[in-house]
């Protein structure tokens, strides 16, 4: 390579060195800026610095260095921020962030899928099932139970109660009140079941079971209440569970055996009957016919009952 080709590069490198020398000589710059003939003083000072190093720098190069300092040449300035630079940075660093972005996208897809499958899906299915129950299943059940009750009885009071329950259930279903609608269906079903039931109420006459009890009520310590221990027996001979409310504490229980309140005369007659040979000969105390809610009791049977003794 020729000297002519190298000269411009050497001059450029020397000018850069001059600027770098000036930039690192803060005291020199501040002093020369404060003087009147700034450029001349800076050039003179630079000659002294380079002469001390044994370097001969032409005045032309020194002047280029001074001008370069004033114009901030040979100084690296980072590119200004902007959207284009932002896009460039994204592109340059794509290998670094693309793996994280891919992982984040996969995690997001999994999370959305899990939310849809575990939360949204069940909620939508539950809402659809509830809507079907309120709009179709409950109204159909109310209609079927009402028809069944009408076919079991002709008692005006029972039919009025059934109609009241049916109307309440339909209104609740239309209003979206699921619990109230289900409650009406349950009450209609219980009413139909009670109307359809057939049984006899018989006095329990077994060696291991008490036949009757006498109680002194708390509200009247001078009197006594008499109860015969009874059970409901269906047409197949099996016990029938009954919901019985105790008159002593007002608590309803589902039982197979309970104490039915009777008159003193009936109580003593049954007691004497059992004492004669250990067996109650006349054990029938009442009958429940299909289509009726009431038990047809024998004379001497009262309304009260107990479930514990």
* C-alpha–C-alpha distance, residues 102 and 273, integer Å: 92
Same domain, 177 and 212: no
Residue range of the domain that includes 61: 3-70
Report the pLDDT value the prediction gives residue 219, as an integer from 0 to 100. Answer: 73
Under a CB-based contact definition with an 8 Å cutoff, are residues 251 and 307 in contact?
A: yes
Of 78-82, 238-242, 283-287, give the lowest mean pLDDT range: 78-82
Q: Average pLDDT of 140-167?
A: 97
Nearest to 289 by CA among 234, 242, 243, 246: 234
Of 73-87, 93-107, 121-135, 281-295, give the lowest mean pLDDT range: 73-87
For residue 128, being part of any structural domain is answered with yes
Both tokens of 203, joined, read: 């006095």
Both tokens of 208, joined, read: 């291991």
Rounded to 5 degrees, what are φ and ψ at 12?
-65, -45
Q: Is 233 exposed, middle or buried (0-12, 13-18, 19+ CB in 10 A)?
A: middle
Same domain, 177 and 261: no
Q: What are the pLDDT digits (tens) for 9-38?
A: 566 676 667 667 766 665 555 555 554 466
Report the pLDDT value the prediction gives residue 116, as an integer from 0 to 100. Answer: 77
For residue 79, being part of any structural domain is answered with no
Same domain, 188 and 205: no
Supply the mean pLDDT for the chain.
84
| Model confidence band, residue 39 (pLDDT cutoffs 50, 70, 90) | confident
Q: Which residue has the higher pLDDT, 27 or 191?
A: 191
Q: Among residues 24, 47, 70, which one ends one of the domains?
A: 70
Same domain, 203 and 175: no
Same domain, 204 and 189: no
For residue 120, being part of any structural domain is answered with yes
What's the number of domains the chain is made of?
Answer: 3
Provide the 10 A C-beta neighbour count for residue 242.
22
Same domain, 177 and 225: no
Under a CB-based contact definition with an 8 Å cutoff, are residues 218 and 229 in contact?
A: no
């Amino acid at each position: 390579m020729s000297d002519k080709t190298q000269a411009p590069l050497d001059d450029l490198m020397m000018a850069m060195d001059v600027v770098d020398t000036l930039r690192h000589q803060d005291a020199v710059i501040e002093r020369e800026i404060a003087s009147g003939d700034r450029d001349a003083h800076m050039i003179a000072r630079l000659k002294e610095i380079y002469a001390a190093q044994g370097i001969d720098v032409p005045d032309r190069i020194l002047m280029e260095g001074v001008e370069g300092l004033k114009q901030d040449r040979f100084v690296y300035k980072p590119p200004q921020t902007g959207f284009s630079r932002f896009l460039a940075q994204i592109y340059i660093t794509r290998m670094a962030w693309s793996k994280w972005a891919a992982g984040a996208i996969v995690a997001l897809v999994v999370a959305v899928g899990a939310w849809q499958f575990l939360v949204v899906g069940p909620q939508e299915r539950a809402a659809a099932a509830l809507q079907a129950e309120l709009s179709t299943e409950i109204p159909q059940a109310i209609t079927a139970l009402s028809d069944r009750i009408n076919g079991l009885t002709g008692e005006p009071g029972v039919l009025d109660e059934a109609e009241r329950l049916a109307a309440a259930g339909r209104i609740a279903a239309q209003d979206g009140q699921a619990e109230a609608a289900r409650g009406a269906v349950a009450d209609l079903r219980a009413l139909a079941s009670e109307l359809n039931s057939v049984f006899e109420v018989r006095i329990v006459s077994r060696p291991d079971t008490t036949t009757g009890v006498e109680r002194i009520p708390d509200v009247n310590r001078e009197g006594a209440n008499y109860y015969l221990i009874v059970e409901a027996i269906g047409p197949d001979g099996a016990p029938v569970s009954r919901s019985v409310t105790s008159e002593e504490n007002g608590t309803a229980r589902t039982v197979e055996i309970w104490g039915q309140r009777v008159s003193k005369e009936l109580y003593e007659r049954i007691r004497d009957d059992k004492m004669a040979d250990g067996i109650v000969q006349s054990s029938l105390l009442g009958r429940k016919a299909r289509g009726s809610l009431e038990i047809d009791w024998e004379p001497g049977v009262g309304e009260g009952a107990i479930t514990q003794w």
